[in-house]
Amino acid sequence: MQKTGAIGVFDSGVGGLSVLRHIRDVLPNEKLIYVADSGHVPYGEKSREYIEARSHLLTHFLRQQGADAIVIACNTASAAAVTSLRSQFSIPIIAMEPAVKPAVTASRNGIVGVLATTGTLASARFAALLERYAGDGEIITQGCPGLVEQVEKGELNSAYTRALIEKYTTPLLARGVDTIILGCTHYPFLASVIADVVSSNIALVDTGAAVARQLQKRMQAELPARVSGMAAAHFFTSGDEVHASRIMSILWGENVAVQRLPQAFL
């Protein structure tokens, strides 16, 4: 018998909507369930154990909602929890990772910058990624405290947001980067401001589209008896649902009603 399922996606907050948009483009007939863990944002400053525990709890919730494939739409959570999640759940679990390989390949001078949370940059997963793909390129990393919070507040174009972007990109530009990896799923929502600050000569690399394609490939290979659910998107948050509805409607591009997670998952 064919089984109808759903795709579950979670992030520390609203940033994973940048990935969800790509998933909707690639798999337009799927039922999507998105959880913004905004009651615990940002993940980047929290311990690996804390992030891992939240990731397991949210995955259990998404499974209860009928998700038979999970996307960890957060670089920090991917680094902290993907190994343990894959050991516990026998479904496709797709993780994020900064696009070091394509950025190094695309770079003209081999000098690549990475904007990411401190949690991502400190992870063993990211260190292994650099070792595997950096090659002869020079990778310059930059932690960006505060940027996630600006996106969570919906302040995409404020003077303070721009000042933070200038602060974090100045050291990269001084080192001569010609390519910058957006190493957090919140950052694509700031791409237009980042591009304006660093100039059009700097290429910005986002991994959302590649993650959506990988999800499609894994589902085709591992869930052959599955059929697409009714095309729809459902949104949940561990934060304030009124605020989340306002911000996520802006980022998603249409009005959405966000539900608060049940008490057991807060």
Per-residue pLDDT reduced to its tens digit, 180-210: 999 999 999 999 999 999 988 999 999 999 9
What percent of the chain lies above the pLDDT cut of 90? 86
The encoded tokens of residue 108 equal 């003209």
| Per-residue confidence (pLDDT) for residue 225, from 0 to 100 | 78
| Per-residue confidence (pLDDT) for residue 1, from 0 to 100 | 45
Q: Which of 96, 184, 212, 256 is catalytic?
A: 184
184 flagged as catalytic = yes
Q: Is the pLDDT of residue 2 over 60?
A: no
Q: Which of 7, 23, 67, 74 is catalytic?
A: 74
| Per-residue confidence (pLDDT) for residue 151, from 0 to 100 | 97
Look up the pTM and report it: 0.94
74 flagged as catalytic = yes
Write the pLDDT tens digit of every residue in 134-174.
888 899 999 999 999 999 999 999 999 999 999 999 999 99
CA dihedral 179, 189, 9, 65 (to 10 degrees): 180
In which band, very low, low, confident or very high, does the pLDDT at 3 lie, cut at 50, 70 and 90? low
* Structural domains of the chain in order of their starting residue, each with its CATH number: 3-96+208-265 (3.40.50.1860), 100-205 (3.40.50.1860)
The encoded tokens of residue 15 equal 């940033």
Q: Is the pLDDT of residue 5 over 90?
A: no
- Least Cα distance to 33 among 188, 266, 229, 249 occurs for 229
Write the pLDDT tens digit of every residue in 85-99.
999 999 999 999 889
Write the pLDDT tens digit of every residue in 39-80.
999 998 899 999 999 999 999 999 999 999 999 999 999 999
29 φ/ψ angles, rounded to the nearest 5 degrees:
-95, 5
In which band, very low, low, confident or very high, does the pLDDT at 231 lie, cut at 50, 70 and 90? confident
Give one DSSP letter per residue of the chain, joined into a string.
--EE-EEEEEESSSTTHHHHHHHHHH-TTSEEEEEE-GGG--STTS-HHHHHHHHHHHHHHHHHTTEEEEEE--HHHHHHHHHHHHHH--S-EEE----HHHHHHH-SSSEEEEEE-HHHHTSHHHHHHHHHH-TTSEEEEEE-TTHHHHHHTT-SS-HHHHHHHHHHHHHHHHTT-SEEEE-STTGGGGHHHHHHHH-TTSEEE--HHHHHHHHHHHHHHH-TTEE---SEEEEEESS-HHHHHHHHHHHHTS---EEEPPGGG-
| Per-residue confidence (pLDDT) for residue 226, from 0 to 100 | 78
Q: How far apart are CA 75 and CA 48, in angstroms?
A: 12
Lowest mean pLDDT among 126-135, 196-205, 231-240: 126-135
